Amino acid sequence: MAHIFCIANQKGGVGKTTTTVNLAAGLAQVGQRVLMVDLDPQGNATMGSGVDKRQLPHTVYDVLLESATVAEARVRSEKCGYDILGANRELAGAEVELVDLERREKRLKAALSVVDAEYDFVLIDCPPSLSLLTLNGLCSAHGVIVPMQCEYFALEGLTDLVNTIKQVHANLNRDLKIIGLLRVMFDPRITLQQQVSDQLKGHFGDKVFNTVIPRNVRLAEAPSYGLPGVVFDPSAKGSQAFVAFAQELVERNRST
């Protein structure tokens, strides 16, 4: 059975998509079978995996509305080494269209359960809001990986997310838990970042991943080439950190 993880944080621009595609590529590099699900209508994770969102015959939108199965809608990126269930702007409409449908929060879960056995990891890139889309992600998942920048308001923002996860756990998905907090875009020269990082460890203990993702321009450049940094420039510090993170995640899930 696959480990199904959402990459979520209600804030925009914190590194969710970068984490999703690079972790997917990192996991693939260490021999894991990976499906990456793009749940953001912006389709950045799709484009960042080298798949043109405008050319897709089927996307996660069709899966949510049950007009296609995951097997029909997914595409393979040989370069990246993982499968992609893509998204584009059409997905924004799903929000409205799902409202009146039955099992509206659990449609992704049902669809993924069919392909579950084909993967070791399913990673879901969530949009930066608590929408019906994010709820579909959270209902499908065993846990949440939270990328965060070590900034002044980081802990405050986390409270909202932790409450959301608690509510989903209580009402919709008993499996859901926080897998861990990933420090991203980290710059050790900035004293404040060190302080917030220490605070995080104080509050959350071993829920904070050991691996730290540094701020690295190669990770930011990679999407314009339609590749995760890990594939675009494997020698970059940021890429190496994501492969190390993939290894840490595999290791953690072996012992649980």
Two tokens, residue 95: 């929000």
Alpha helices in the chain (DSSP H): 16-29, 44-47, 60-64, 70-73, 91-98, 107-113, 132-140, 154-171, 191-204, 217-221, 229-232, 237-255
Residue whose entry in the numeric block shows the structure tokens 């995760």: 228
Residue whose entry in the numeric block shows the structure tokens 């940094």: 229
Q: In the window 174-233, what residues touch Mg ion (CB under 5 A)?
A: none
Using the minimum distance from each CB to ligand ADP, give the nearer residue, 38 or 105.
Answer: 38
Question: Cα(95)–Cα(111) distance, rounded to whole angstroms?
Answer: 17
* Residue 17 lies near ligand ADP (rule: CB under 6 A): yes
For the CB of residue 213, give the shortest distance to ligand ADP in the complex, in Å. 5
- Residue (of 70, 48, 50, 49) closest to 59 by Cα position: 70
With contacts defined by CB under 6 A, name the span among 7-15, 24-32, 171-179, 193-201 that binds ligand ADP: 7-15
Using the minimum distance from each CB to Mg ion, give the nearer residue, 9 or 216.
Answer: 9
Using the minimum distance from each CB to ligand ADP, give the nearer residue, 68 or 240.
Answer: 240
For the CB of residue 44, give the shortest distance to Mg ion in the complex, in Å. 5
Q: In the window 187-246, what residues touch ligand ADP (CB under 6 A)?
A: 213, 215-216, 219-220, 238
Question: Cα(72)–Cα(213) distance, rounded to whole angstroms?
Answer: 34
Two tokens, residue 155: 């802990």
Segment (H or E) for 208: strand 208-214
Give the one residue of 13, 31, 93, 188 binding ligand ADP; rule: CB under 6 A: 13
Q: In the window 43-72, what residues touch ligand ADP (CB under 6 A)?
A: 44
* Residue 17 lies near Mg ion (rule: CB under 5 A): yes
Give the one residue of 16, 74, 109, 183 binding Mg ion; rule: CB under 5 A: 16
* Residues near ligand ADP, by CB under 6 A: 12-18, 44, 128, 184-185, 213, 215-216, 219-220, 238
